[in-house]
Amino acid sequence: MAVCAAIIGKDNSPKFFVTINPDEELQFQYRVLSSLDIVEDKLNSGVKGGADTKELYLGMLLSLEAHKIYGYVTNTKIKFIIVVDSTNMVLRDNEIRSMFRKIHSEYADIVSNPFYIPGEPISSKNFTTNIKNIMTGTV
């Protein structure tokens, strides 16, 4: 299971942030922020392949002592970040990938919600629950 998930807007401001352990949120915010350096770099340097083979999954961004950070960028430059414990061996690349895809579809749903203003931080409780379920693998 992932320990933290974040949705970052195209202006690199956090739109949504959730951690399994709320006490560690600030530390995770710093980590996710650091990983954005790598995302930015990948986005700036990356003209890989044609426009058709657009890969949204960025792979592992950072491998720290205690955590591994994965990234995913939508075509509209919305970034999804997932933080996983380094000791977690269950989650492989494929699981992370599918987790991102689920988050992406949740995000697409929330953006379609007429009561949500795109670009504002997401505060929907339902959304938070759904993302937490994705993180813990209960979906």
Partner 1 sequence: MHPGIIQSDSDIPHELCVKPLALVGVTGLDIINNAVHKSIWETFSSNRRIERAPVLFKLVGNVQEFPIMKPKRTSYDWYIPKGILKKNWINKHLYEIPAVIVVFYDLDWNDSSWSEKMIECASRVQSMRAALEGRGTRITIVLIQNSPPQPPGEDALSSERAIALCSSCEINSQSLFVLPHGDHLQGYAVRLENAFYEYAQTYYHNEAKHVKSHKEHLNKNSHQYLFVRHQFKMGFLNELKQDAHTAHKHYTHAYNSLLEIRIVDTNALEIRTLAGFVNYKLCRLLFALNLPRDAISQFKSHVDRFKARMGFHELTFEHYAWLSKQYSVFGDIFDEAVKLGLPAVQTQHPGIYYQQAAQYSIQRKKFSQELCSNIIAYPQPDPLQGANHMEFYGQRPWRPGKLSAEPPDPHLESNGIQALQFLEKQINHSNLIIALYGLAISQYKTYRCPRTRRHLVLQMADEYYDSRDYGKALTLYTHMLLDFRNEKWWDILSTVLEKAILCAYLTANVQDYVGLAVEILGANINTPLNEKRRIYENLMRLLKKQIPFGDPKIPQDILQNAIILWQPVFSEKSFNIALDMTNITASVSVKARFMKKTYEVDQNVIVEIFVRSTCPFPLTFSKISVTVNAQNQNSEYTVTDSADVSFNFHKDEVKRYVVEFIADCNDINKDIQINSVNVFLGNSPECCLDLKYPASVESNGNNIELYHFKHNADKLDFDNVQALSQATVVPRESKLRVDFLHQIPALLGEWYEIKVVVTNEELYEIVDLKIEAWIEEEIANVELSLQPSDKHKKLNLVLNNPSHLKPTDQISTDFFVRSNLICKCNIQVKLTYTLSGEKQILSIKSEKLALAVVEPFEVSTKYLSTLMAEIEKFYIGEEFGVMNYIKFTSPWLIIVEDTSFDYIHPVSPAEENRSSQISGKTFNNEEIGAELHLATCNKPNDDFVNVGHYTIRWKRENGHSTTTTLAVTGLPCDWVAVGLKMFAPAHGYVRTSMVIEYHVENRSHELVRLELSMDASEAFMFSGSKQFSVSLLPQSTRILQYNLNPLIAGSVALPKFSMTISENTENGPPVVSQDQLNLLTGRTLPTHVYVMPQMKGEAKLPDSIPSPENVAVIG
The 10 Å Cβ neighbour count of residue 122 is 19
Contact between 124 and 116 under an 8 Å Cβ cutoff? The reply is: yes
For residue 34, the minimal CB distance to partner 1 (Å) is 4
Residues within the interface to partner 1 (CB under 8 A): 10-14, 17, 25-26, 29-30, 33-34, 36-38, 41, 61-62, 65, 114, 117-120
Taking the CA atoms of residue 97, residue 103, residue 106 and residue 107 in that order, the dihedral angle to the nearest 10 degrees is -110
The 10 Å Cβ neighbour count of residue 3 is 19
Nearer to partner 1, 34 or 129 (CB): 34
For residue 111, the minimal CB distance to partner 1 (Å) is 11
For residue 3, the minimal CB distance to partner 1 (Å) is 17
The tokens describing 125, both together, are 């409780």
Nearer to partner 1, 63 or 94 (CB): 63
For residue 24, the minimal CB distance to partner 1 (Å) is 12
